[in-house]
């Protein structure tokens, strides 16, 4: 158990809908990353937050957004969902200063 | 921006044989380099990390990796494969003081009995 909690574990929804994925890092972890993993695209970095502020952006679509709250949990919002958004979404928290990432077990999103 | 390229999306070895998973990096400044392992239906776990303290890095489960600046490589090895090593392995890179970690496409390791 990495200590990083992601909910829900599975999510099934329809095209055009909006969903919110939640991530709770370990106590003291200020930095949270979101990744998308799919068979065709591999593990893609989406976005990083550090202590409530956006720090880096990767291949995140405009339909997607994220935020990190004062208690350091983070949410990834996916809207106007398309079939191609079906993937495993991982959250990871970084332990500093050794930059070790701890991954959650992921949220499997299925868009039907 | 920094990046890594993993050579070979699938590697198959026999139990007891040498495991070699290849990773090349691209970075404008000295990088931090990582190997992560992902077992089915699980998140990624850190195997080892290079931070310039030593070029040969030993990790968990008998894995090690050698940083070669001249070859911009950070290949992962294990002298003797075990069935439990079957998993997907990811090489990753980040820059010092820049918490932007990028992963390679992954290499799926199969271990044959």
List chain A pLDDT tens, one digit each, 112 residues. Answer: 788 999 999 999 999 999 999 999 998 888 999 999 988 888 888 999 999 999 888 889 999 999 999 999 999 999 999 999 999 999 999 887 777 788 999 999 999 9
The answer to whether A111 and A83 have CB atoms below 8 angstroms apart is yes
Q: Are the Cβ atoms of B102 and A2 closer than 8 angstroms?
A: no
Mean pLDDT over B6-18 rounds to: 96
Q: Which residues contact A28 (CB under 8 A, 6 or more apart)?
A: none
Chains A and B: how many Cβ contacts under 8 Å?
A: 58
Query: Which residue does chain B place closest to A9, by CA atoms?
Result: B41
The Cα of A105 is separated from the nearest Cα of chain B by a number of Å equal to 5
How many CA within 13 A on the CB side of residue A101? 35
- Alpha-carbon torsion, ordered A19, A39, B83, B12, to 10 deg: -170
Question: Measured between beta carbons, which residues in chain A are less than 8 angstroms from residue B105?
Answer: 42-43
According to the model, what pLDDT value does residue B14 have? 97
- Cα gap A18→A13, rounded to integer Å: 8
**Which residue from A51, A76, A61 is spatially nearest to B99, judged by alpha carbons?**
A51
According to the model, what pLDDT value does residue A51 have? 93
């Amino acid at each position: 158990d990495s200590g990083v909690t992601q909910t829900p574990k599975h999510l099934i929804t329809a095209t055009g809908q909006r969903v919110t994925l939640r991530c709770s890092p370990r106590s003291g972890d200020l930095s949270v990353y979101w990744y998308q993993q799919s068979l065709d695209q591999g593990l893609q970095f989406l976005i990083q937050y550090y202590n409530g502020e956006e720090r880096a952006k990767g291949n995140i679509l405009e339909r997607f957004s994220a935020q990190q709250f004062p208690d350091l949990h983070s949410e990834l919002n996916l809207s106007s969902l398309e079939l191609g958004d079906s993937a495993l979404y991982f959250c990871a928290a970084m332990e500093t200063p050794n930059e070790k990432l701890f991954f959650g077990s992921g949220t499997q999103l299925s868009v039907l | 921006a920094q990046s890594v390229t993993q050579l070979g999306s699938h590697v198959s070895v026999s139990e007891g044989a040498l495991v070699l998973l290849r990773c090349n990096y691209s970075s404008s400044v000295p990088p931090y380099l990582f190997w992560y392992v992902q077992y089915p239906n699980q998140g990624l776990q850190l195997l080892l990390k290079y931070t310039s303290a030593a070029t040969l890095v030993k990790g968990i489960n008998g894995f090690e990796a050698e940083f070669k600046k001249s070859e911009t490589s950070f290949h992962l090895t294990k002298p003797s494969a075990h069935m439990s090593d079957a998993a997907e392995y990811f090489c990753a890179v980040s820059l010092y003081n820049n918490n932007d970690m990028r992963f390679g496409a992954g290499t799926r390791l199969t271990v044959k009995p």
